[in-house]
Chains A and B, each alone.
Chain A
Amino acid sequence: MTEKRSYRRLESTKELQRVMTRYYGMSNYFRYWGKPLGRKLAWVTSGAPVELLRVFKIHPVYPEQYGAICGSRKVSGELCQVAEAQGYNQDLCSYARAHIGSILRPDLAPMKGLPKPDLLVACTNICGTVLKWYEALARILQVPLIVIDTPYQPGEVTPQAKQYVLRQLEAAVVELERVTGVRFNEKKLDTIAEKSRQVTTLWREIKDLCAAKPSPLNAPDLFIHMAPIVVLRGTDTGVKYYSLLKKEVEQRVQEGVGALEQEKVRLVWDNIAIWPHLFKFFKMFTERGACFVADTYTGGWAMDFSEGNTMETLATTYTEVFLNRSAQYRARQIIDQIRQFDADGFVMHSNRS
């Protein structure tokens, strides 16, 4: 990218590219070696409890992130049309349409589409669309579908919801044992969940560092550097990467170095990024000295891992995410962010999602 930016590039970006290239290289490896080596690959929603899958050495791949890649490579339109030709309505979620299009026409798709999964895992905590999307995938690909229903929480998270999710996670374990032929190992789950906790804690600490003035990071940094938090929760690579990023961000804060050359206005961003024009769009703000010091979207993965045994922790953690909460809760979250980060205003991105 040769575009001149009005803000500073992070050193860690190089490592980020390495980490993500390795992740996709690994995913691609499954395309050829998964079967002979008996290793399974799953397509999962961004809010699915991947810690469980990792116990069974299942490699998770994220169609939502792939949807964002299709968006930033500007092929979504064409892929959506492929899905529309199969009868999928043009008003349906474009992540879903683009992804379905990429399965039907891999020749048009980035990386020739995602490597085919052995199973599908959807968790309803991020939206209701994923149920319908993954049902469609299960029909097209004829592979097992595991859905975890995390009931929407209009108020405080209820004990019956936690219990219900826990029961489903236990059932998922049985199903995963069946699919992989591997016995469940609770100790292993503890270790993986601990790594997830470290990764998400690091990510939250990094986000919190943006309370400094000037803010060491701007929203596009968060959007770019959130990639590993989505795909590498519960891994050493994830812990290592975010430790590195945190060091760099801390250093910026200590030296009083901001994300922007000159920060004049502090803003909070709500909702998903505009992937096809990530830099072009935020440039309009950075040129005027406006920095997005916090956002709600990348905070979706800055989860507080709650106490209790690991299965209970997972049940609670994945049920209480902000996307599964009321408008009131989410408004309060933005207000809290405005206070915490001493922001001057916020921008809401109303997209069709």
Chain B
Amino acid sequence: MTVYVGVDIGSLTTKVVLVNKEGKQLGRATARTGYSGKEVAQRLTEQLLEERSLTTGDIGATVATGYGRVTFPADREVSEITCQAKGVAHLFPQTATVIDIGGQDSKVIRVLPGGKVIDFAMNDKCAAGTGRFLEVMAGALEVNLDQVGPLAVKADKVCAISSFCTVFAESEVISHVSKGTPKEEILAGICDAVASRVANMTERTGLELPVVFTGGVAKNQGVAAALSRHLGAELLIPADPQVTAALGAALFAAEL
């Protein structure tokens, strides 16, 4: 059986998806990128093949995307923006806007039905509005990253974080801690800060519904709720929001 591989080597996480010729997803795997995204991606690919009693000989084609795509020996490399649009449109064919928040960047992508990119905006050279911002703030509060969302949605109030700069925002968070502001409220404020920054980016591209929210940060209910509030729109979130770009890459591989 011939399979097609999509590899997404992100700054924090590496994702691999297998599809068949018809574009049906056969399997997916993720792991921390660490020092060598290439090796991690190769290991994940082998693991997925092994689970299905397949070998590298069964691979029809591989497409790489993500920050580490250039280093990976693939048949083609495609930017994560184009892959993201492709993957999301496969899951939600009517998608008009994709909002993706990853480890080191955030993007708003406007797409045509079928996943053709019309326009996109990405964060400036700055961590505000990215997963990295959440990670730094969670660290300052000594909260596990997975707990940020569940705690944030419990807050009665949203504490205002006014600094966009990650370093200044961190000291702002610390001063809130020392004032005794409940952790939940601070976390809600942090999620809100990320969401408002990204919501602002949608004005550069325009916002058309439906909106699909992807990337590792889409798993954070706190950010998702805040983003939905800022946009005044329901967000569609894929069951596995982290692997949509890898899925898009795999779909491109199947078309090669």
Residues in chain A within 8 A of chain B (CB atoms): 77, 81, 84-87, 89-90
Complex alpha-carbon distance, A159 and B164, angstroms: 47
Whether the Cβ atoms of A85 and B162 lie closer than 8 Å is: no
When the two chains form their complex, are residues A89 and B124 in contact, meaning their CB atoms are under 8 A apart?
yes
Is B162's CB under 8 angstroms from A87's CB? no
List B contacts of A89 (CB < 8 A): 124
B26 at interface, CB cutoff 8 A: no
**Is B204 close to A, CB under 8 A?**
yes
Q: Which residues of B contact A86 (CB under 8 A)?
A: 203-204
Q: Is the CB of A85 within 8 A of B201?
A: yes
* Chain B 117-141 per-residue mask, 1 if CB under 8 angstroms from chain A, else 0: 0000000101000000000000000
Q: How far is the CB of A34 from chain B (nearest CB, A)?
A: 31
**Which residues does chain B contribute within 8 Å of A77, judged by CB atoms?**
162, 164
The answer to whether A90 and B124 have CB atoms under 8 Å apart is: yes
Seed contacts A86-B204, A90-B126; 14 additional CB < 8 Å A-B pairs? A77-B162, A77-B164, A81-B196, A81-B200, A84-B200, A85-B200, A85-B201, A85-B203, A85-B204, A86-B203, A87-B204, A89-B124, A90-B124, A90-B164
Query: A85 CA to B162 CA in the complex, in Å?
Result: 17
Sampled A-B contacts (8; CB under 8 Å)? A77-B164, A81-B196, A85-B201, A85-B203, A86-B203, A87-B204, A90-B124, A90-B164
A87 to B204, CA, bound (A): 6
Residues of B within 8 A of A (CB): 124, 126, 162, 164, 196, 200-201, 203-204
Which residues of chain A come closer than 8 Å to B203, judged between CB atoms?
Answer: 85-86
Distance of A334 Cα from B42 Cα, bound (Å): 64
Q: How far is the CB of B218 from chain A (nearest CB, A)?
A: 22
Cα distance, A81 to B128, chains bound together (Å): 13
Q: Which 9 pairs from chain A and chain B are nearest by CB?
A: A85-B203, A85-B200, A81-B200, A90-B124, A85-B204, A77-B162, A87-B204, A84-B200, A86-B203
Determine the chain A residues whose CB is within 8 A of the CB of B201 once the complex forms: 85
- Complex Cα spacing A177 to B242, Å: 64
Cβ-closest chain A residue relative to B205 = A85
Closest chain B residue, CB of each to CB of A74: B162
A59 CB, min distance to chain B CBs, angstroms: 33
* C-alpha spacing A77/B128, complex, angstroms: 14
Q: Chain A nearest CB: distance from B196 CB in Å?
A: 8
What is the bound-complex CA distance between A261 and B204, given in angstroms? Answer: 53
CB distance from A183 to the nearest CB of B (A): 46
Cα A90 to Cα B164 in complex, Å, equals 10
Closest to B201 in A: A85
How far does the alpha carbon of A86 sit from the alpha carbon of B201 in the complex, in Å?
Answer: 9
* Distance between Cα atoms of A78 and B162 in the complex (Å): 9
Residues in B with CB closer than 8 Å to A90 are 124, 126, 164
Which of B200, B201, B203: most chain A CB closer than 10 A? Answer: B203
> A81 — nearest CB in chain B belongs to which residue?
B200
Distance in angstroms between the alpha carbons of A90 and B121 in the assembled complex = 14
Across the interface, which residues of A come within 8 angstroms of B124, CB to CB? 89-90
Minimum CB–CB distance from B129 to chain A (whole Å) comes to: 11
B78 to chain A, nearest CB (A): 26
C-alpha spacing A82/B193, complex, angstroms: 15
Closest to A84 in B: B200
Residue of A nearest to B202 (CB): A85
- Give the distance in Å from the alpha carbon of A341 to the alpha carbon of B126 in the complex: 44
Chain B hits for A87, CB < 8 A: 204
- Minimum C-beta distance from A86 to chain B (A): 7
Q: How far is the CA of A84 from the CA of B200 in the complex (A)?
A: 8
Set of chain A residues within 8 Å of B164, measured between Cβ atoms: 77, 90
Residues of A near B204 (CB, < 8 A) are 85-87
Give the complex CA separation of A85 and B201 in angstroms: 6
**Which of chain A's residues have a CB closer than 8 A to the CB of B126?**
90
Q: How far is the CA of A86 from the CA of B204 in the complex (A)?
A: 6
Report the nearest B residue to A90, measured CB to CB.
B124
Q: Which residues of A contact B200 (CB under 8 A)?
A: 81, 84-85
A75 to chain B, nearest CB (A): 11
Whole-angstrom distance between the Cβ of B134 and the nearest chain A Cβ: 19
Please report the C-alpha to C-alpha distance between residue A306 and residue B196 in the assembled complex, in whole angstroms.
52
A140 to chain B, nearest CB (A): 15
Question: What is the bound-complex CA distance between A85 and B196, given in angstroms?
Answer: 11
Expressed in whole angstroms, the minimum distance between the Cβ of B130 and any Cβ of chain A is 14
Best-surrounded residue of A77, A81, A87 (most CB of chain B within 10 A): A81
